[in-house]
Structure 1
Amino acid sequence: MMCRAPSAVQPATAKTQYIADQVRSQLEEKENKKFPVFKAVSFKSQVVVGTNYFIKVHVSDEDFVYLRVFKSLPHENKPLTLSNYQTNKAKHDELSYF
Protein backbone atom coordinates (compact mmCIF):
# COMPACT_ATOMS: atom_id res chain seq x y z
CA MET A 1 0.00 0.00 0.00
CA MET A 2 1.33 3.40 -0.92
CA CYS A 3 1.01 6.49 1.28
CA ARG A 4 -0.59 9.47 -0.37
CA ALA A 5 -0.54 13.18 0.29
CA PRO A 6 -3.41 14.49 2.43
CA SER A 7 -6.65 15.29 0.61
CA ALA A 8 -7.91 18.82 0.05
CA VAL A 9 -9.66 20.46 3.00
CA GLN A 10 -13.32 19.49 3.16
CA PRO A 11 -16.19 20.62 5.40
CA ALA A 12 -16.66 18.42 8.45
CA THR A 13 -19.32 15.72 8.25
CA ALA A 14 -21.17 13.70 10.88
CA LYS A 15 -18.43 11.06 10.50
CA THR A 16 -15.74 13.70 11.13
CA GLN A 17 -17.56 14.85 14.28
CA TYR A 18 -17.81 11.23 15.45
CA ILE A 19 -14.06 10.74 14.98
CA ALA A 20 -13.29 13.96 16.88
CA ASP A 21 -15.66 12.96 19.69
CA GLN A 22 -13.91 9.58 20.03
CA VAL A 23 -10.57 11.25 20.86
CA ARG A 24 -11.91 14.23 22.84
CA SER A 25 -11.14 12.60 26.20
CA GLN A 26 -7.56 11.85 25.05
CA LEU A 27 -7.05 15.53 24.19
CA GLU A 28 -8.68 16.78 27.41
CA GLU A 29 -6.43 14.46 29.42
CA LYS A 30 -3.27 15.64 27.63
CA GLU A 31 -4.24 19.31 28.00
CA ASN A 32 -5.63 18.79 31.53
CA LYS A 33 -8.77 20.78 30.69
CA LYS A 34 -12.33 20.37 29.51
CA PHE A 35 -13.41 22.10 26.32
CA PRO A 36 -16.82 23.85 26.51
CA VAL A 37 -17.37 23.36 22.76
CA PHE A 38 -16.01 20.59 20.53
CA LYS A 39 -17.28 21.07 16.99
CA ALA A 40 -15.43 19.69 13.99
CA VAL A 41 -15.26 22.38 11.28
CA SER A 42 -13.14 20.90 8.49
CA PHE A 43 -10.79 18.02 7.80
CA LYS A 44 -8.27 16.37 5.52
CA SER A 45 -7.56 12.67 5.28
CA GLN A 46 -4.48 10.72 4.27
CA VAL A 47 -4.28 7.05 3.40
CA VAL A 48 -1.35 5.36 5.11
CA VAL A 49 -1.45 1.85 6.57
CA GLY A 50 -4.84 2.93 7.85
CA THR A 51 -6.02 6.55 7.66
CA ASN A 52 -4.83 9.79 9.23
CA TYR A 53 -7.51 12.42 9.77
CA PHE A 54 -6.47 16.04 10.27
CA ILE A 55 -9.42 17.79 11.90
CA LYS A 56 -9.94 21.47 12.74
CA VAL A 57 -12.10 21.66 15.87
CA HIS A 58 -13.74 24.76 17.35
CA VAL A 59 -13.25 24.57 21.14
CA SER A 60 -14.28 28.00 22.47
CA ASP A 61 -14.97 31.59 21.38
CA GLU A 62 -12.17 32.15 18.85
CA ASP A 63 -10.04 29.12 19.76
CA PHE A 64 -9.47 26.08 17.58
CA VAL A 65 -7.35 22.95 17.92
CA TYR A 66 -6.04 20.69 15.19
CA LEU A 67 -6.22 16.95 15.73
CA ARG A 68 -4.36 14.21 13.91
CA VAL A 69 -6.32 11.02 14.46
CA PHE A 70 -5.18 7.61 13.27
CA LYS A 71 -7.72 4.99 12.22
CA SER A 72 -6.16 1.55 11.86
CA LEU A 73 -7.17 -0.97 9.24
CA PRO A 74 -10.51 -2.69 9.99
CA HIS A 75 -9.02 -6.14 10.61
CA GLU A 76 -6.77 -4.73 13.36
CA ASN A 77 -9.85 -3.79 15.41
CA LYS A 78 -8.08 -0.97 17.31
CA PRO A 79 -9.66 2.22 18.70
CA LEU A 80 -9.06 5.63 17.12
CA THR A 81 -5.85 7.21 18.38
CA LEU A 82 -4.98 10.87 18.88
CA SER A 83 -1.55 10.83 17.21
CA ASN A 84 -0.79 14.53 17.53
CA TYR A 85 -2.50 17.87 18.06
CA GLN A 86 -1.91 21.60 17.90
CA THR A 87 -3.53 24.23 20.12
CA ASN A 88 -3.91 28.01 19.91
CA LYS A 89 -5.18 27.96 16.34
CA ALA A 90 -7.50 30.55 14.82
CA LYS A 91 -10.42 30.21 12.42
CA HIS A 92 -8.38 31.56 9.49
CA ASP A 93 -5.31 29.32 10.09
CA GLU A 94 -4.73 26.80 7.32
CA LEU A 95 -5.17 23.15 8.22
CA SER A 96 -1.96 21.49 7.05
CA TYR A 97 0.02 18.32 7.70
CA PHE A 98 1.65 18.14 11.13
Structure 2
Amino acid sequence: MSETANVWISSNLNSYGHIRCVVSHHCWLFLDLVTMADIPGGFTETRNATEEIQKICDQVTCQVEDKTKKKYVEFRAVKYRSQVVAGVNYLVKVNVGGCSYLHLKVFQNLPCYGGEIVLRGVQEDHHEEDPIVPF
Protein backbone atom coordinates (compact mmCIF):
# COMPACT_ATOMS: atom_id res chain seq x y z
CA MET A 1 0.00 0.00 0.00
CA SER A 2 1.49 3.30 -1.02
CA GLU A 3 0.76 6.50 0.79
CA THR A 4 1.10 9.90 -0.83
CA ALA A 5 3.24 12.32 1.17
CA ASN A 6 1.94 15.84 1.41
CA VAL A 7 4.80 18.30 1.65
CA TRP A 8 4.39 21.77 3.04
CA ILE A 9 7.26 24.23 3.36
CA SER A 10 6.86 27.00 5.88
CA SER A 11 7.70 30.48 4.68
CA ASN A 12 9.26 31.18 8.07
CA LEU A 13 12.55 29.95 9.42
CA ASN A 14 12.85 28.61 12.92
CA SER A 15 15.40 30.06 15.34
CA TYR A 16 18.10 27.67 14.06
CA GLY A 17 17.90 28.89 10.46
CA HIS A 18 16.11 25.75 9.26
CA ILE A 19 13.08 25.36 7.04
CA ARG A 20 10.39 23.23 8.64
CA CYS A 21 8.68 20.76 6.32
CA VAL A 22 5.84 18.39 7.07
CA VAL A 23 6.10 15.02 5.35
CA SER A 24 2.68 13.45 5.94
CA HIS A 25 1.21 14.04 9.38
CA HIS A 26 3.63 11.70 11.15
CA CYS A 27 7.06 13.30 10.83
CA TRP A 28 8.86 16.58 10.57
CA LEU A 29 11.83 17.20 8.35
CA PHE A 30 14.27 20.02 9.01
CA LEU A 31 16.38 21.22 6.09
CA ASP A 32 19.42 23.44 6.45
CA LEU A 33 19.39 26.51 4.28
CA VAL A 34 22.20 26.24 1.81
CA THR A 35 23.37 28.82 -0.69
CA MET A 36 25.49 27.99 -3.71
CA ALA A 37 28.43 29.59 -1.91
CA ASP A 38 28.19 27.01 0.88
CA ILE A 39 28.20 23.99 -1.42
CA PRO A 40 31.59 22.35 -1.95
CA GLY A 41 32.74 23.31 -5.42
CA GLY A 42 31.11 26.76 -5.39
CA PHE A 43 32.96 30.01 -4.69
CA THR A 44 31.95 32.06 -1.67
CA GLU A 45 30.72 35.60 -2.00
CA THR A 46 33.43 38.27 -1.96
CA ARG A 47 34.75 38.93 1.54
CA ASN A 48 37.19 41.35 3.13
CA ALA A 49 40.69 39.93 3.26
CA THR A 50 41.84 38.59 6.61
CA GLU A 51 45.27 38.22 8.17
CA GLU A 52 45.26 34.58 7.00
CA ILE A 53 44.61 35.66 3.39
CA GLN A 54 47.44 38.21 3.63
CA LYS A 55 49.79 35.46 4.86
CA ILE A 56 48.83 33.31 1.85
CA CYS A 57 49.54 36.24 -0.48
CA ASP A 58 52.87 36.87 1.23
CA GLN A 59 53.86 33.29 0.41
CA VAL A 60 53.25 33.74 -3.33
CA THR A 61 54.68 37.26 -3.77
CA CYS A 62 57.89 35.97 -5.40
CA GLN A 63 55.91 33.74 -7.77
CA VAL A 64 53.73 36.73 -8.76
CA GLU A 65 56.79 38.92 -9.35
CA ASP A 66 58.36 36.19 -11.51
CA LYS A 67 55.18 35.80 -13.54
CA THR A 68 54.54 39.55 -14.05
CA LYS A 69 58.24 40.48 -14.33
CA LYS A 70 57.63 43.32 -11.82
CA LYS A 71 58.72 44.09 -8.25
CA TYR A 72 55.98 45.27 -5.87
CA VAL A 73 56.66 47.61 -2.95
CA GLU A 74 53.05 47.22 -1.80
CA PHE A 75 51.30 43.84 -1.90
CA ARG A 76 48.15 44.08 0.23
CA ALA A 77 45.26 41.62 0.06
CA VAL A 78 41.97 43.54 -0.03
CA LYS A 79 39.16 41.11 -0.94
CA TYR A 80 38.88 37.40 -1.61
CA ARG A 81 36.63 34.49 -2.52
CA SER A 82 37.30 30.84 -1.70
CA GLN A 83 36.28 27.49 -3.13
CA VAL A 84 36.52 24.20 -1.25
CA VAL A 85 37.85 21.43 -3.47
CA ALA A 86 40.49 18.83 -2.54
CA GLY A 87 42.08 21.79 -0.78
CA VAL A 88 41.05 25.42 -1.20
CA ASN A 89 41.18 27.71 -4.23
CA TYR A 90 41.43 31.40 -3.42
CA LEU A 91 40.71 34.31 -5.74
CA VAL A 92 42.32 37.37 -4.17
CA LYS A 93 42.26 41.06 -5.09
CA VAL A 94 45.65 42.55 -4.16
CA ASN A 95 46.49 46.26 -4.09
CA VAL A 96 49.98 46.76 -5.53
CA GLY A 97 50.15 50.53 -5.07
CA GLY A 98 47.90 53.47 -5.80
CA CYS A 99 44.90 52.35 -7.81
CA SER A 100 46.60 49.27 -9.30
CA TYR A 101 45.26 45.84 -8.43
CA LEU A 102 46.05 42.25 -9.32
CA HIS A 103 43.72 39.28 -9.14
CA LEU A 104 45.42 36.09 -7.96
CA LYS A 105 44.30 32.48 -8.13
CA VAL A 106 46.01 30.54 -5.36
CA PHE A 107 45.60 26.89 -4.37
CA GLN A 108 46.24 25.65 -0.84
CA ASN A 109 46.56 21.89 -0.51
CA LEU A 110 44.99 20.05 2.41
CA PRO A 111 47.12 19.96 5.58
CA CYS A 112 47.31 16.15 5.38
CA TYR A 113 49.07 16.62 2.01
CA GLY A 114 51.48 19.25 3.29
CA GLY A 115 49.31 22.37 2.99
CA GLU A 116 51.42 23.64 0.08
CA ILE A 117 50.40 27.04 -1.34
CA VAL A 118 50.75 27.45 -5.11
CA LEU A 119 50.04 30.38 -7.40
CA ARG A 120 47.76 29.17 -10.20
CA GLY A 121 47.20 32.44 -12.05
CA VAL A 122 47.60 36.22 -12.09
CA GLN A 123 45.51 38.88 -13.80
CA GLU A 124 46.99 42.36 -14.08
CA ASP A 125 45.43 45.78 -14.76
CA HIS A 126 42.49 45.51 -12.39
CA HIS A 127 40.82 48.32 -10.45
CA GLU A 128 39.32 48.54 -6.98
CA GLU A 129 35.75 48.21 -8.25
CA ASP A 130 36.39 45.19 -10.51
CA PRO A 131 34.53 42.09 -9.31
CA ILE A 132 36.57 39.00 -8.47
CA VAL A 133 35.46 36.34 -10.95
CA PRO A 134 36.87 32.85 -11.51
CA PHE A 135 39.58 32.63 -14.15
TM-score above 0.5, yes or no = yes
Q: TM-score range by the shorter chain?
A: over 0.9
1:43 to 80, 93, 97: 80
1:84 aligns with 2:102: no
1:66 aligns with 2:99: no
Contact 1:3 1:49 in 2 (8 A): no
RMSD: 1.2
Structure 2: gaps of 5 or more residues: 1-38
For these two proteins, the number of residue pairs brought into alignment is 97
SS class of match (2:64): helix
Q: Which has the higher contact order (CA 8 A, sep 6+)?
A: 1
Q: Please give the alpha-carbon distance, in whole angstroms, between the structure 2 residues aligned to 1:16 and 1:51.
A: 12
1:9 to 26, 43, 46: 46
Moved over 4 A (4+): none
Q: Which of the two has higher C-alpha Rg? A: 2
Structure 1: gaps of 5 or more residues: none
Q: Please give the alpha-carbon distance, in whole angstroms, between the structure 2 residues aligned to 1:3 and 1:85.
A: 23
Aligned counterpart, 2:59: 22
